[in-house]
């Protein structure tokens, strides 16, 4: 399997940062489709893919989302070209016959509410990581945030659906002031254990 060159690795990983501000260019539906086409092969158990993307485009929806953000995230969410609520779908087992056709009994594994929800959250977070890398891969910047009232978003923007939020990601073209200096990282020997 061929490896990415150093510039591609820097774009996706070593040179990438969380974005805190963006340029004025809109994020188009075509870009989001390109992003989904790129990241949809992300691995999930049972090929379940429970993550959903809620694009917060209208001014009214943006205002409602901002009201649920923590103080430090309100202004940047209000100013971002696009905010995306990443959520997990509690009804994901209904899609298993299509995405896992060789195991028609798979949906029965998720009859227990706690098992289904724990599984869906874990798998959606895996997809969220791919989502962030995918945003970078199509030439945009991502500002993922956990500083928000998830139950509030669920009761407001996601009311009447089977979706439950896990994070909010601001997306857009990076600007000159998008990034803060990178904070230190742990060293290899601090995170790797060899057994």
pLDDT at residue 179 in the model? 87
How many CB atoms are closer than 10 A to CB 90?
A: 16
pLDDT at residue 104 in the model? 87
pLDDT at residue 26 in the model? 97
pLDDT (tens digit per residue) in 147-160? 999 999 999 999 99
pLDDT at residue 182 in the model? 87
- Give me the residues of the chain with pLDDT under 70, please: none
Contact 178, 21 (CB under 8 A): yes
| Residue 115 CB contacts under 8 Å (≥ 6 apart), including other chains | 109
pLDDT at residue 188 in the model? 97
pLDDT at residue 17 in the model? 87
Contact 85, 54 (CB under 8 A): yes
pLDDT (tens digit per residue) in 128-150? 999 999 999 999 999 999 999 99
| Residue 150 CB contacts under 8 Å (≥ 6 apart), including other chains | 164, 165, 166
pLDDT at residue 177 in the model? 86
Q: What residue ranges define each of the domains in the chain, with the CATH number in brackets?
A: 6-173 (3.40.109.10)
Half-sphere exposure of 10 (CA within 13 A, CB side): 4
State both tokens at 12: 């996706």
Integer Cα distance of 71 and 25 in angstroms: 25
């Amino acid at each position: 399997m061929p490896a990415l060159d150093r510039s591609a690795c820097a774009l996706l990983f070593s040179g990438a940062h969380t974005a805190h501000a963006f340029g004025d260019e809109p994020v188009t539906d075509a870009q989001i489709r390109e992003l989904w086409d790129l990241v949809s092969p992300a691995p999930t158990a049972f090929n379940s893919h429970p993550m959903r993307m809620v694009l917060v485009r209208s001014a009214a929806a943006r205002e409602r989302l901002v009201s649920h953000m923590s103080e430090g995230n309100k202004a940047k969410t209000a100013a971002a070209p696009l905010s995306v609520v990443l959520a997990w779908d509690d009804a994901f087992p209904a899609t298993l016959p299509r995405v896992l056709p060789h195991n028609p009994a798979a949906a029965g594994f998720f009859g227990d509410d706690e098992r289904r929800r724990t599984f869906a959250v874990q798998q959606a977070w895996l997809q969220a990581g791919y989502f962030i890398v995918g945003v970078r891969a199509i030439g945009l910047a991502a500002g993922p945030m956990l500083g928000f009232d998830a139950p509030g978003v669920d009761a407001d923007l996601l009311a009447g659906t089977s979706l439950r939020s896990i994070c909010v990601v601001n997306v857009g073209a990076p600007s000159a002031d998008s990034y803060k200096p990178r904070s230190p990282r742990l060293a290899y020997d601090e995170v790797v254990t060899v057994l």
